[in-house]
Structure 1
Amino acid sequence: MSITVTTWSLEQTSPADQRPAAAADQVRIVRAEVPSPEFSRFLYTAVGADIIWTDRLGMTYAEWEEVLTRPGTETWVAYENGTPAGYAEIEAQDEGSVEIVYFGLIPAFRGRRIGGHLLSEAVARAWDLAERWPDREPTKRVWLHTCSKDGPHAMDNYQRRGFTLFDTKVTEEQETPTPGPWPGAYS
Structure 2
Amino acid sequence: MKTDNPVLPLGYSDMPPGTIATVVTCLEMRERPQLPLNSTDDALTLRHWHQPDLNEYRELFRNIGAQWLWSARLTMSDEKLASILNDPRVAIYILKDAGRRIGLLELDFRHDNECELAYFGLVEDSVGKGAGRFLMTHAIEKAWARPIDRFWVHTCHLDSPAALPFYKRMGFTPYKIMVEVLDDPRRSGVVPNTAAPQVPLIGL
**TM tier, smaller:** 0.7 to 0.9
Q: CA RMSD in A?
A: 2.6
Residue 10 in 1 paired to residue 19 in 2? no
What is the SS of the residue equivalent to 1:64? helix
Counterpart of 1:151 (choices 140, 153, 160) is: 160
Unaligned segments of structure 2, at least 5 residues: 1-16, 198-204
Counterpart of 2:39 (choices 23, 47, 54) is: 23
* Structure with more contact order per residue of length (Cα contacts < 8 Å, sep ≥ 6): 1
Query: Percent identical across equivalent pairs?
Result: 27
Partner of 1:134 in structure 2? none
Partner of 2:90 in structure 1? 73
1:86 and 1:105 in contact (8 A); partners too: yes
Mapped partners of 2:90, 2:171: distance in 1: 22
Residue 161 in 1 paired to residue 170 in 2? yes
Partner of 1:135 in structure 2? none
1:90 to partner: Cα distance: 0.7
- Within a 5 Å distance, the mapping from 1:114-129 to structure 2 comes to 114-128=131-145
What is the SS of the residue equivalent to 2:68? coil
2:186 and 2:193 in contact (8 A); partners too: no
- With over 3 angstroms needed to count, the CA separation of the structure-2 counterparts of 1:164 and 1:113, relative to structure 1, is same
Residue 33 in 1 paired to residue 42 in 2? no
What is the SS of the residue equivalent to 2:72? coil
- Within a 5 Å distance, the mapping from 1:61-140 to structure 2 comes to 61-128=78-145, 130=146, 138-140=147-149
Larger radius of gyration: 2
2:22 and 2:179 in contact (8 A); partners too: yes
What is the SS of the residue equivalent to 1:150? coil
Matched pairs, number: 178
